[in-house]
């Protein structure tokens, strides 16, 4: 693999945070409809790409051992999905430096796939808004479309409805993962929502307003937090630790877990809190990050 020198262009694949997450209902096909305010952190995986005659993928970095078989990687799936829609697609060599924990509620794999689709689109003269690129993103994973632009916005449905970009106040986060994976399917199973059950029904043009202030975020919550705690009780302890950090304004779980975060409005307080936690829990993955 990668015989000889390979000059690559590098693409950032930032961590996705669900600042709020509401489960609106469960469709008859078994998928859940969600409403979530998504933001992106400045901690990220990195994906290198060099156009070439055939697809290659090398995965390295501290999280490489968590990614599973190459053929199942979302980067490989994104390549296959776009190639099926764009005959003659020029692929090439990819090098994924995996820094984000897997199965962590951070959308790391989805962000990697979005970076892959951006790279392929540029190499093949396709716009990011090309119908084939959009379809490949949706086909690869429900979080991939929102990761394509990596800006704060509301996402709804099964990730197929994206609101306009929103402006957040200056927020700084401390992200914590106990290095324990949580399977999304297990969390939804613990939620126990039957098919056809809806808390309310909105048409696609009835988008919910984004909770862009700390007070609004505090009221919004994450509906998957309680079932995730039954799957991994350590989440409750992490949230309690985060809430007690000096300067923390809000603590919450991201996505289906197990990563949790505390929000600060002062970067110094976030950095201090990150250092304190890292000293106390050297086995955890802990990062401080600005959002936006």
pLDDT for the residue 66: 87
Give the residue-averaged pLDDT of 14-41: 96
pLDDT band at 207 (very low <50, low <70, confident <90, very high): low
Can you give the residue range of the structural domain that contains 61? 9-165
On whether 104 is known to bind a ligand per the annotation, the reply is: yes
Last residue of a domain, one of 165, 189, 221: 165
Residue 38, in any domain of the structure: yes
On whether 107 is known to bind a ligand per the annotation, the reply is: yes
Same domain? 198 vs 134? no
Residue 1, in any domain of the structure: no
Residue 132, in any domain of the structure: yes
- The residues assigned a catalytic role are 16, 143
Residue 2, in any domain of the structure: no
Residue 202, in any domain of the structure: yes
Residue 284, in any domain of the structure: yes
On whether 36 is known to bind a ligand per the annotation, the reply is: no
Give the residue-averaged pLDDT of 196-203: 80
**DSSP per residue over 40-60, as a string?**
EEEEEEEEEEEE-SS-EEEEE
On whether 142 is known to bind a ligand per the annotation, the reply is: no
Same domain? 148 vs 180? no
Residue 3, in any domain of the structure: no
pLDDT band at 1 (very low <50, low <70, confident <90, very high): low
Q: Where are the alpha helices (DSSP H) in the chain?
A: 74-85, 108-123, 131-140, 144-149, 184-191, 214-220, 225-231, 234-243, 267-280
pLDDT for the residue 282: 96
Same domain? 183 vs 155? no
Structurally, the chain folds into a number of domains equal to: 2
Same domain? 158 vs 235? no
Q: Taking a C-beta distance cutoff of 8 angstroms, is the pair 154, 38 a contact?
A: yes
Last residue of a domain, one of 117, 133, 165: 165
Same domain? 47 vs 176? no
Same domain? 94 vs 126? yes
- Residue 57 belongs to domain with CATH number: 3.30.230.10
Same domain? 141 vs 203? no
pLDDT for the residue 144: 98
Last residue of a domain, one of 102, 134, 165: 165
pLDDT band at 238 (very low <50, low <70, confident <90, very high): very high
pLDDT for the residue 156: 94
Residue 165, pLDDT above cutoff 60: yes
On whether 106 is known to bind a ligand per the annotation, the reply is: yes
Same domain? 24 vs 148? yes
pLDDT for the residue 208: 72
Ramachandran category for residue 116: left, alpha or beta (phi over 0 → left; psi -120 to 50 → alpha) = alpha
Same domain? 195 vs 81? no
Residue 120, Cβ neighbours under 10 Å: how many?
Answer: 24
Q: Taking a C-beta distance cutoff of 8 angstroms, is the pair 238, 207 a contact?
A: no
Of the listed ranges 33-47, 60-74, 127-141, 224-238, the one predicted with least confidence: 60-74
**DSSP per residue over 55-81, as a string?**
-EEEEESTTGGGS--GGGSHHHHHHHH
Residue 83, in any domain of the structure: yes
Contact residues for 273 (Cβ-Cβ < 8 A; gap 6+): 174, 245, 246, 247, 248, 262, 264, 288
Residue 232, Cβ neighbours under 10 Å: how many?
Answer: 20
- Residue 193 belongs to domain with CATH number: 3.30.70.890
Q: pTM to 2 decimals?
A: 0.94
Q: Taking a C-beta distance cutoff of 8 angstroms, is the pair 183, 153 a contact?
A: no
Same domain? 47 vs 84? yes
CA distance 105 to 125: 32
Backbone angles phi, psi at 275, to 5 degrees: -65, -40
Give the residue-averaged pLDDT of 6-13: 92
Same domain? 143 vs 34? yes
Which 8-state DSSP code applies to residue 114?
H
Same domain? 26 vs 130? yes
């Amino acid at each position: 693999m990668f015989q000889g020198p390979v000059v690559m262009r590098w693409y950032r694949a930032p961590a996705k945070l669900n600042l709020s997450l509401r489960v609106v209902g469960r469709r008859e096909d078994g998928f859940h409809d969600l409403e979530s305010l998504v933001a992106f952190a400045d901690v990220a995986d990195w994906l290198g790409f060099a156009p070439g005659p055939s697809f290659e993928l090398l995965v390295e970095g501290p999280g490489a051992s968590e990614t599973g078989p190459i053929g199942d990687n979302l980067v490989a799936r994104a390549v296959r999905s776009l190639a099926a829609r764009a005959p003659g697609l020029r692929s090439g060599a990819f090098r994924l430096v995996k820094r984000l924990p897997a199965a962590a509620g951070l959308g790391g794999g989805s962000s990697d796939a979005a970076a892959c689709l951006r790279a392929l689109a540029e190499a093949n003269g396709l716009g990011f808004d090309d119908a084939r690129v959009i379809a490949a993103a949706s086909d690869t994973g429900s979080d991939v479309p929102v990761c394509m632009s990596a800006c704060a916005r509301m996402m709804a449905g099964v990730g197929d409805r994206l609101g306009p970009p929103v402006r957040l106040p200056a927020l700084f986060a401390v992200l914590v993962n106990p290095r324990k994976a949580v399977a999304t399917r297990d969390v939804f199973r613990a939620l126990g929502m039957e098919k056809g059950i809806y808390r309310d029904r909105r048409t696609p043009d009835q988008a919910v307003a984004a909770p862009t202030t700390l007070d609004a975020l505090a009221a919004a919550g994450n509906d998957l937090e309680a079932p995730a705690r039954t799957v991994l009780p350590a989440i409750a302890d992490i949230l309690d630790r985060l809430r007690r950090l000096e300067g923390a304004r809000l603590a919450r779980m991201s996505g289906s877990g197990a990563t949790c975060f505390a929000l600060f409005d002062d970067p110094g307080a976030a950095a201090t809190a990150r250092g304190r936690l890292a000293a106390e829990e050297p086995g955890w993955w802990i990062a401080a990050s600005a959002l936006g």
